[in-house]
Amino acid sequence: MIIRHMTTTSDLHVVDTRPLVPPALLHRDLPIDDEALETVSSSRRRIQAILRGEDKRLLVIVGPCSVHDVDAAKDYAEQLHNLRHLYSSQLEIVMRVYFEKPRTTVGWKGLINDPHLDGSYDINTGLRRARTLLLHLAREGMPSATELLDPVVPQYIADLISWTAIGARTTESQTHREMASGLSMPIGYKNGTDGTATIAINAMQAASKPHHFLGINKDGHASIVTTTGNPDGHLVLRGGKSGTNYHEEAVCQVSQELAKVSLPQKLMIDCSHGNSNKDFKRQSDVLKEVSSQIINGSNNIMGVMLESHLVEGNQSIPRDLSTLVYGQSITDACIDIETTASLLEELASSVTSSGVS
């Protein structure tokens, strides 16, 4: 009997590795300028003030479920910018600019991972497109929000982000809590997919503390990262398997849970996902309920999230990419920009009615 021995024990399931552009090189090619810096810095300060109760307006994170077409994102931003200016006394509107998509099983993972929508996974191009878009938006005065999924990505784009989400699937992850502890912007932690807030509350506590962990520096070198902790965290209620959690009773209950552990009681309502039972049109119902709570004097809601694009609904990625509907999501279905404008008008009116001018 002949016994055959393995000649290696590493990379048994790896077929390719490609060099990743160092963050410093991308920053050198696409540097943040004074105009963009002012947009990011000032919007972060305003969001912090809303979290601390110093600014009585509402934070609104609104935009496509994910960005797959940079030109459509720019067109959307131009229309949203007009609404941002119109309702600036009541709302701090920040565009949702998501480049990474967590998947329950498999699927398109976002612009950074697969910018050509063809399975070529040209991540270097994806990072460049993402930073280019964020820089354009910041120069135009439109602050950006995103979800940070891969812990390497912040080195490439985080300086251009005003608000970040840690998603329902990653809030429990130690890696993401450590990453969040070193990020420079306010962060919203979504409740777990089961609908309960305990995991997100634990994440808020963990990320507010200092950490030491493995990461990369601006030159792309493996590094030991030491953080101070991020004090600007808040909870995002997005519903879950146990049902919706945007109604007044749920908001009050979660606020009490936050108070018990001495965390800020102000939270955000995600009008999509579990709260809309994955029906994009029901986002309107959720926002109307939130507006009613604001009018009735709720002090616990500091903001909302909406999934919105130029065209309502969604579409699958076709074999022939030229047949893609311009301005329509290829991930979760969205409301259109006209519906968005109507909902933002209603939300702004509710803030005015509550006494904010």
Q: Give strand pairing partners of 214.
A: 224
Spatial separation of the C-alpha atoms in residues 340 and 348, rounded to whole Å: 12
Q: Which of 160, 162, 158 is nearest to 149 (CA)?
A: 158
Spatial separation of the C-alpha atoms in residues 161 and 136, rounded to whole Å: 12
Ramachandran assignment for 132, one of left (phi > 0), alpha (psi -120 to 50 degrees), beta (any other): alpha
Spatial separation of the C-alpha atoms in residues 111 and 26, rounded to whole Å: 16
CA 91 to chain centre: 18
> Residue 158: CB partners within 8 Å, gap ≥ 6?
148, 164, 183, 184, 185
**For the chain, how are helix, strand and coil distributed in percent, rounded to 5?**
40, 15, 45
| Ordered domains of the chain (ranges, CATH) | 28-40+57-353 (3.20.20.70)
Q: pLDDT tens digits, residue range 286-315?
A: 999 999 999 999 999 999 999 999 999 999
Model pTM score: 0.95
Spatial separation of the C-alpha atoms in residues 152 and 157, rounded to whole Å: 10
Spatial separation of the C-alpha atoms in residues 291 and 348, rounded to whole Å: 9
Spatial separation of the C-alpha atoms in residues 138 and 305, rounded to whole Å: 20
Q: Could you list the beta-strand ranges (E) of the chain.
A: 58-63, 91-96, 144-147, 163-166, 187-190, 212-216, 222-226, 233-237, 267-270, 301-307
Q: pLDDT tens digits, residue range 261-282?
A: 999 899 999 999 999 999 999 9
> Residue 67: CB partners within 8 Å, gap ≥ 6?
73, 97, 98, 99, 111, 130, 133
pLDDT given at position 242: 87
pLDDT given at position 72: 98
**Is the confidence at residue 1, as pLDDT, over 60?**
no
Q: Using the structure block, give the residue that is written with the tokens 């090189």.
A: 25
Q: pLDDT tens digits, residue range 18-73?
A: 999 999 999 999 999 999 999 999 999 999 999 999 999 999 999 999 999 999 99
Q: pLDDT tens digits, residue range 117-165?
A: 999 999 999 999 999 999 999 999 999 999 999 999 999 999 999 999 9
Instruction: Give the chain's length.
Output: 357
Mean pLDDT of the 229-249 span: 96
Task: Using pLDDT thresholds of 50, 70 and 90, give the confidence band for residue 356.
Answer: low
